[in-house]
Structure 1
């Protein structure tokens, strides 16, 4: 057991950040206990405001944020990275730590996205954007470098097929 006090994480949002009054950065109020197995470090957070206006739910400014494990803002991608951003993570690429983040749209009923992955260096500067080949758009669910020249990611590319021989009707229902 660690001598550290238990960490608790809960999110509230929409208080102005003092050093950049143009930002309405979500505020982390840490309230959920974390075990001693959790490492100290940074929290990568991509909140999105999906609620109807005037409900006081979700952030005013959707986008990626990095906080310390104490809830202090390290970096805001608002205005630099698109508001619909997900799958924000750290990778090792060409010998350096980089950040990857999906930017695009989300098809909520179907659960997939259409977009690209942006790569930032360890100082949060743009390095590259990774897109699907053949005009296909990347999905937000997976992204992984597997060597210094290649990455693997998902693409949602539906195909219409006749499934009546499997018991489906012509409109896709069973």
Structure 2
């Protein structure tokens, strides 16, 4: 009878994964190409910085949230024909990791963005928009040391009338 109970109680262990919960903080820099519909389907670009916090439930699943800010404005050169863009977003994303080996991972992220942007065209017309958008990204992560890693990803974000495709370089510290 004891063998049967032991066997039945051990069945759930066959379907569990190692749970290694951990927290991490990170920062990233990136460049984005932007298409927006409000001003005759123009395309521009901007640079940005991002700070984020992540919580890994295990090696495969994590969640990230943070703040992104960026702009394309060039205060010194008023003669160019480019529009000035300023953007701020708060984001939350779920992240799925695939371990290639001990140090290399591929990942996919998808999430929601609370955005606010302002576009000033060369006619000094200002377009402001805020709302809820979405984003997704594919990337590669490399663990440099036990607690330090870096990543690069391609991200696509939808901000209402504006869509942004970006390349991001991040550094993360795991607690």
Rg larger in structure:
2
The interval holding the TM-score normalised by the smaller chain is: under 0.3
TM-score when scaled to structure 2?
0.25
Q: Which has the higher strand share?
A: 2
TM-score, with structure 1 as normaliser: 0.25
If asked which structure has higher relative contact order (CA below 8 Å, sep 6+), I would say 2
